């Protein structure tokens, strides 16, 4: 009897702990939306999102250049990382020997453990001058940002697509090989398509990471409030906008930064939900 009471008590405690994470999510959501929505309504939803001018001193808050910036940087990062991550995961999952895998996989995962400020620092000291001297512009650019972000999301995309590829039953490989396919033909025709939705989910999650990254982006992107028309243009993202101005913002301005956060929140939520959907479809 006593034991049953203790069991029930422990399970309640565990339930509470589990609920607390949902609680935190709810609180954060409510807080961001409560702080941010008034500005969006005041400016008008359409003007807030599609307007060009962000002039806190004059009370004009429109964030289109930053949305464009965030998407430009994210797209660039995907261009850099997806081919690498795909090749890498295919190699690791299908071709690498046990020893190679044991060395390369942890090494890639270690990339995720490097603090983003270190990426930013390397970007500023190495990449930015390199772009400035060899390609053009002042170096602080979408291009630099894309390369650094691309490397930063590499572990996410690689390890999730690796898992997706490993989850493909051996029968697919053997089925293709038994038909006289070479190793690569089997991978191309049977394994990768079968892991397709897992790989897409990996890319979507990588997008989420790229769009949410702040520190490295602030350091390399240049942070100008323009719509980037060339890879060499400087750019400001949604995240850097918040981080750069939060320190001194007050009143309306502060609320407008929360509103920026609302948009960011919605984008990242949408990407995560999309990824979960895709993964679920794969399981079925």
Give residues in contact with another protein (CB under 8 A).
Answer: 97-98, 169, 171-182, 185, 189-190, 193-194, 196
- For another protein, the closer CB: 195 or 219: 195
Please report how close the Cβ of residue 276 comes to another protein at its closest, in angstroms: 22
Please report how close the Cβ of residue 186 comes to another protein at its closest, in angstroms: 10
- For another protein, the closer CB: 77 or 192: 192
- For another protein, the closer CB: 101 or 132: 101
- The DSSP bridge partners found for residue 222 are 235
C-alpha–C-alpha distance, residues 257 and 245, integer Å:
8
- For another protein, the closer CB: 75 or 189: 189
C-alpha–C-alpha distance, residues 156 and 272, integer Å:
13
Please report how close the Cβ of residue 206 comes to another protein at its closest, in angstroms: 23
244's tokens:
């750069």
Please answer whether residues 158 and 88 qualify as being in contact, where contact means their C-beta atoms are separated by less than 8 angstroms: yes
Please report how close the Cβ of residue 177 comes to another protein at its closest, in angstroms: 7
C-alpha–C-alpha distance, residues 263 and 63, integer Å:
9
Report the chain's C-alpha Rg in angstroms: 23
23's tokens:
């609680």
């Amino acid at each position: 009897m006593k034991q049953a009471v203790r069991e029930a008590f422990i399970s309640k405690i565990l339930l509470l702990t589990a609920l607390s994470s949902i609680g935190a999510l709810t609180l954060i959501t409510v807080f961001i939306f409560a702080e941010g929505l008034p500005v969006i309504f005041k400016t008008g939803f359409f003007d807030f999102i599609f307007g060009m001018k962000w002039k806190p001193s004059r009370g004009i808050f429109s964030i289109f250049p930053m949305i464009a910036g965030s998407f430009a940087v994210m797209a660039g990062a995907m261009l850099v990382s997806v081919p690498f991550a795909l090749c890498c995961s295919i190699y690791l999952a299908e071709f690498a020997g046990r020893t190679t895998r044991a060395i390369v996989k942890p090494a890639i995962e270690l990339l995720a453990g490097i603090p983003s400020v270190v990426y930013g620092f390397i970007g500023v000291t190495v990449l930015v001058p390199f772009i400035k001297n060899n390609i053009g512009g002042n170096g602080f650019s979408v291009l630099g940002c894309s390369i650094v972000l691309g490397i930063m999301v590499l572990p996410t995309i690689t390890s999730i697509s690796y898992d997706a590829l490993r989850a493909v039953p051996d029968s697919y490989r053997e089925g293709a090989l038994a038909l006289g396919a070479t190793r690569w033909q089997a991978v191309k025709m049977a394994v990768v398509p079968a892991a397709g939705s897992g790989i897409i989910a990996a890319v979507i999650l990588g997008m989420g990471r790229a769009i949410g990254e702040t520190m490295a982006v602030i350091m390399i992107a240049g942070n100008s409030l323009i719509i980037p028309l060339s890879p060499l243009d400087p750019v400001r993202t949604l995240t850097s906008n918040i981080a750069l101005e939060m320190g001194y913002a007050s009143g309306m301005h502060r609320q407008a930064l929360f509103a920026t956060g609302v948009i960011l929140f919605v984008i990242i939520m949408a990407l995560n939900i999309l990824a979960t959907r895709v993964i679920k479809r794969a399981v079925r």
